[in-house]
Structure formats: structure tokens, C-alpha cells
């Protein structure tokens, strides 16, 4: 990862057995265990354009 902020967040330590959602970017989050490794993949929020399209379809009745 080249993102400096993400590296700082990933370097943060937690207590044993603690899981924490770490924000990697504006739309992406990862689940981190106490030893600093990513587990359980990522959670990714849709982009603003995708949200606008979803809202457009919902208001048009499709």
C-alpha cells in the first residue's frame, strides 16, 4: 500500500483478540486483528455516481 495514511492506521495496535474496522480510503475499509494483519477482506462503499444512478432508478419507479 502506498497510501501513507493507510500505513499509519494499519500500524496502530489493539489489545489481544480485538477486531477493528480500519479506514483505508474514503470508500474502503478493512477488518484488522490485534497483530496488525488484515483479515476478513474489505468493505467497499459505492461511489457517488453509483449512488446517483441507484437513486435515479428508485425515483423513476423501475
pLDDT by position in tens, the chain (length 62): 456 666 555 555 555 556 677 777 777 777 766 555 655 556 667 777 777 877 777 776 55
> What's the confidence (pLDDT) of residue 1?
46
| Cell digits of residue 2 | 502506498
DSSP state of 3: -
The residue range of the domain holding 44 is 4-60
> What's the confidence (pLDDT) of residue 41?
58
Dihedral-angle region of residue 29 (phi above 0 means left; psi in -120 to 50 means alpha; beta otherwise): beta
DSSP state of 34: T
Number of domains in the chain: 1
CB 6 within 8 A of CB 25: yes
> What's the confidence (pLDDT) of residue 50?
76
Tell me which residue of 40, 20, 43, 1 sits closest to 12, measured CA to CA: 20
Amino acid at each position: 500500500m502506498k497510501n501513507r495514511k493507510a500505513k499509519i492506521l494499519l500500524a496502530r495496535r489493539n489489545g489481544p483478540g480485538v477486531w477493528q474496522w480500519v479506514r483505508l480510503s474514503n470508500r474502503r475499509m478493512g477488518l484488522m486483528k490485534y497483530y496488525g494483519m488484515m483479515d476478513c477482506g474489505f468493505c467497499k462503499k459505492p461511489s457517488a455516481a453509483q449512488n446517483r444512478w441507484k437513486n435515479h432508478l428508485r425515483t423513476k419507479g423501475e
